[in-house]
Amino acid sequence: MRLLKVTRLDAKREARGWSVEPAASAVLGSGFVKNVHLVSLEPGTVRGNHVHHKQLEFAIVFGGRCLVAAENEKGEREEMIVGPDDLLLLEMQPNIRHAFKNIGERAMFLLAYTDTPYDRENPDTLPVQVIK
């Protein structure tokens, strides 16, 4: 059983770099996306280390090497390394614990979007240690 759904993004690569659509126009036009956030990860740091009970989250990590880990409630675990040239869309279903660790030597980035607006008063983000 795969805990993370992984989709290779169709990137346009050229001399200037790459471009990719992290969410298809149909998804954006449907109103599905309720929150978008972009974060950086300095070398050795971890983002995530949490679980959502209601929201569906998608993420793309880029700009470096990243350890991605996911666990379900039974303790089944999945890990993968995302390299600096990989452009993958990672889907985390509700109740899948997940975390991202920069295992490279420079800052890297994570772009995420969810189907639920972020509510500071009642966040659907509960801390859980997936990666130390």
Mean pLDDT by 10 residues, the chain (132 residues): 88 93 76 91 98 95 97 95 94 97 97 92 94 94
Q: Give the pLDDT confidence score for residue 31 in this predicted structure.
A: 82
Segment (H or E) for 26: helix 25-30
Q: Give the pLDDT confidence score for residue 128 in this predicted structure.
A: 96
Q: Give the pLDDT confidence score for residue 21 in this predicted structure.
A: 87
* Sequence-separated (6 or more) residues with CB below 8 Å from residue 6: 80, 88, 89, 90, 91
Q: Give the pLDDT confidence score for residue 81 in this predicted structure.
A: 97
Residue 30 token pair: 């449907």
Q: Give the pLDDT confidence score for residue 26 in this predicted structure.
A: 65
CATH of the structural domain 4-127, one choice from 2.60.120.10, 3.30.450.20, 3.40.50.300, 1.10.390.10: 2.60.120.10
Q: What is the DSSP letter of 27?
A: H
Q: Give the pLDDT confidence score for residue 14 in this predicted structure.
A: 94
Residue 64 token pair: 């470096």
